[in-house]
Amino acid sequence: MHPVILAGYSSSSAMRYTWLLVLLGVAVEAQPGAVQTWRVFFRDKGPEPFRPGSRLYEQTLALHSPRALARRAKVRPPEALLTFADAPVYQPYLDSLRRWGELRLVVRWRNYAVLQMDSLAAEAVRQLPFVAAVQPTGQVPLPVALPQASGGIAQGLGWQEHPCGPFDYGASRWQLEMLKIPAVHRIGVTGEGVLLGLLDTGFRWRQQPGFAHLQVLAEWDFLGNDSVTANQPGDDPLQDLHGTAVLSVLGAVLPGTLIGAAPMATYILGKTEELPAERHIEEDAYAAALEWMEALGVDVVSSSLGYRDFDSTEVSYTAAQLDGRTTIVAQAVEEAARRGVLCVTAMGNDGARGLNSPADADSVIAVAAVDSAGQRVHFSSVGRRQHGILRPSLAAPGIGVLGLLPGQDQPRPLAGTSMATPLVAGAVALLLAARPELPPWRIRQALLETASNAEHPDTLLGYGVPNLVRALLRLGGAVGPPALVESAQSLRAVAFAFVPFPLFGAWLQWGDLPREEAIRGTIPLRSLGTDPLTLFGELPRELLRTDTVWARVRLVGSAGEELLGRWYLLRLPPSVPCGMVIPPEVLALPAAEQEVLRISPQPVPLGEVCTVSLPGLSPGGRLPLRAVQLWDAVGRHVRRYTLAESTQPWSGTRWTLRLPTAGLAAGVYWLEALYGSNGAERLFAPIVLR
């Protein structure tokens, strides 16, 4: 389906293209130019066995990045990270085909190649002993089944932050606010560490101010067979318009006008569409691009594309064939999903006529369009329930969405499910950035269960518009990266968290490497407020005199719940991660050592009762003292003391508590005072037992 959303709402390829020209005020004639291309399906992948240690297995392993294997490990057992379908197409077969025509595409998962040749050559290729079938790409693809096998080793992921401070969303705030994206940006989660793939018509992102920050790992034109995804000589003038607009809704940063949903993600760009034609070879390109992205380790793939009606010389899909299992693109999406990739796609702009493919795929997240009031836009394709799965899955703003067009510095309002799709893909990327250890099915489930229409899902909006704050809480909460700021005489670390349990301890852990065994120190963090919770504490200045310091926030609930943040590379202050907003009152609060919890005696003899004097009201929000908790040196909850256990009541502005230590081992502990009914503010002090 051609771009757009920018485009019209008709399902006809020619009508969509014409509407796009009218909308943009461009007078361009369509370039028909059909190409005689053929799919050549192979009988096998060569004579080599596929098992750990074999040459074919090692070739397959070499095709996949450590990121890809780590992502697969979240959905597949260790012995089955790699399958026979992942193996490369046998190179001697491909070499043999070159004498008959030009090799255009290779699709590993279904073991075929696309060759440009005439019908006589196609008949000769059909007779080759290693060829199972040959068909024009204009036909519906042949069914192919491949055996599965095992192998592979997963490795860890690295990550590094990009400090830049708060975002000024300007007029683009509304389209993000509907999904509660700014609240997640505010805690410093903006897509870092996530590899996000886009399949579209092309991308003109270089030398454009809104993309100056963009991190692109790789890009490839699968129909032109080169690494240029922007327009080139011979391309339709509108070729890269749609893809550029979609990319901007996800990744642009133009302060005061446009902020993308996941601007600090790393991107992989695949050009798979060719204007103004609508041909099945674009599906082959889509499948090849999805394989390529998966092997590079992509986490999320967004495609504002859809397929059903093709040019008159090619066979269109029937309604019965839009079953989630027949089309090339639906099969490719299902294969990617089996390997742990979250695929997000547009429902289409055909209203009551229904969806296109791959919105029919069982595992895809299909996105409908709503207006600023959350109501379905009339052109958004009506879905259905199939195989027990509802389409659409979710909805997002799809009219009046601000996006950039090629060569323009200022965004303009755009429309269509093409614009809604990157907003949802960005939401998925933010959840993965906050909780990268979770399997993709949990991310998807949390989005569906907490969306606006979750109680009454339907075929118009699916489960409705996502709510990222609710989704994060459903996933067990999330902790953002720590900022480092100067405050009075201290070096203060500040982080934010969405925490689903009311009573907890918070700690900042640091070390030379982002690994558990490399932790060198821990400090307690105080807290303020809720939704999100503000966590802060003082760091020793000598900490940043070393070359590299990694840190993460760890929260432990009084019932044993644990919430771990990601590892982040600490930088010299001031260092505020992109999107984070630090409340002024956090910087104004005095350092912890000035808000004394007085413990006597210190150290405390083993088994003795100690006396603790502490403020009756919190220094920040002036909340009343509710309870006192004890934690060991590594952040494990030990005891909770209520005020009823005190033998002396509140006197003036302080409480005096007598706390027994019987049953505790010698060592260093942390005493925590909780203020407010939900422990919204906290103070800490060390206790040494000898």
% of the chain surpassing 90 pLDDT: 58
Tokens 């699916």 belong to which residue? 462
Tokens 């992205």 belong to which residue? 293
pLDDT band at 306 (very low <50, low <70, confident <90, very high): very high
% of the chain surpassing 70 pLDDT: 87
Q: What is the pLDDT of residue 512?
A: 83
> Contact 654/616 with Cβ under 8 angstroms?
yes
Tokens of 5: 């959303």
CATH architecture of 595-689: Sandwich (2.60)
Q: What is the pLDDT of residue 143?
A: 56
CATH architecture of 13-30+170-473: 3-Layer(aba) Sandwich (3.40)
Residue 565 has pLDDT above 80, yes or no: yes
Mean pLDDT computed over every residue of the chain: 85
When comparing pLDDT for 145 and 413, which is higher? 413
* pTM exceeds 0.75: yes
DSSP conformation class of 82: S
Closest CA to 306 of 283, 323, 277, 326: 283
CATH assignment, 478-588: 2.60.40.10
pLDDT band at 579 (very low <50, low <70, confident <90, very high): very high
> Contact 687/669 with Cβ under 8 angstroms?
yes
What is the Cα 221 distance to its own chain's centre? 23
* The 342-346 sheet, strands edge to edge: 215-221, 266-271, 195-200, 300-303, 342-346, 365-370, 394-397
Residue 19 has pLDDT above 80, yes or no: no
- Cα radius of gyration (the chain): 28
Q: What is the pLDDT of residue 484?
A: 87
Residue 616 has pLDDT above 90, yes or no: no
Q: What is the pLDDT of residue 340?
A: 97
Sort strands 258-259 and 266-271 into parallel, antiparallel or unpaired. unpaired
> Contact 532/548 with Cβ under 8 angstroms?
no
Q: Region 221-233: what's the mean pLDDT? A: 92
Determine which helix (DSSP H) or strand (DSSP E) holds 445, and give its type and residue range.
helix 440-449
pLDDT for 97-154, tens place per residue? 999 999 999 999 999 999 999 999 999 999 999 999 999 998 876 654 433 322 222 2
Q: Region 678-683: what's the mean pLDDT? A: 75
Separation of alpha carbons 563 and 495, rounded Å: 13
Asked if the domains 13-30+170-473 and 595-689 are classified in one and the same CATH topology, the answer is no
| One-letter amino acid for residue 357 of the chain | S
Separation of alpha carbons 386 and 287, rounded Å: 23
Domains of the chain, by residue range, sit at 13-30+170-473, 37-136, 478-588, 595-689
Tokens of 27: 């007078």
pLDDT for 489-508, tens place per residue? 668 889 999 988 877 778 88
pLDDT for 341-360, tens place per residue? 999 999 999 999 999 999 99
Phi, psi of 263 (to 5 degrees): -70, -25
Q: Region 403-426: what's the mean pLDDT? A: 96
Separation of alpha carbons 456 and 220, rounded Å: 41
* DSSP-derived secondary structure for 105-165: EEETTTTEEEEE--HHHHHHHHTSTTEEEEEETTSPPPP-------B-----------B--
Separation of alpha carbons 241 and 405, rounded Å: 6
Q: Which three-class secondary structure state does DSSP give residue 294?
A: helix
Determine which helix (DSSP H) or strand (DSSP E) holds 588, and give its type and residue range.
helix 584-588
Whether residue 276 has a cis bond before it, omega within 30° of 0 = yes
Residue 378 has pLDDT above 50, yes or no: yes
Task: Please state which of the ranges 29-38, 117-126, 171-180, 268-277 shows the lowest mean pLDDT.
Answer: 29-38
DSSP conformation class of 592: G
pLDDT for 54-107, tens place per residue? 999 999 999 999 999 999 999 999 989 999 999 999 999 999 999 999 999 999
